[in-house]
Structure 1
Amino acid sequence: MLTIDEYQALDEAEKPVYILQGDFLADREENGLTVQMYNVGSFYGELYYDPLANKILRWRAFEGTLGLGPYLAHIRFNMR
């Protein structure tokens, strides 16, 4: 697995391909796009997918837990 610094040094065309090799964790909607989050070893990656165009428009990588906030709102807990 790459570190985030090694990931950032990849060619732009390689970055979304590398994210897709990670473990899918969650998705969410944002401005008509589907945002998919992956665990890519030591960091997380997000792909911004346009379902109408069937195309990945952008991607980003981040470390730590701050980027997880938008996904936490979609977790449902079964409280008994």
Structure 2
Amino acid sequence: MSALARVDYERYKRAFMLATLVFFLVWLAIAFGLHLPAKSLYAPPGSPARINGAPLNWWMIQVSIALGVVLAFAYAFTINKLDEKYGIEA
């Protein structure tokens, strides 16, 4: 591997690890920010903390799952753009 290719690889590796870390931290914030409080918001039947008949914690967990799916697609898009920038072929 030439010196220039090595520098490009190091830049790619650094950018890849940074993107992965950022997406992991966002996922962690979503998981702990919505799942853990949702358990404490469990509403027994007849409680005011219900939306369309479902407990509020159910809605919070559904939102976190949807955000996880969106995050997965955003991560794939970001890594594909990073691969294109550095000429990496999968």
Q: Is TM-score (shorter-chain normalized) higher than 0.5?
A: no
* Structure with a larger share of its residues in strand: 1
* Structure with a larger share of its residues in helix: 2
TM-score (norm 1): 0.22
Asked which structure has the greater CA Rg, the reply is: 2
TM-score (norm 2): 0.21
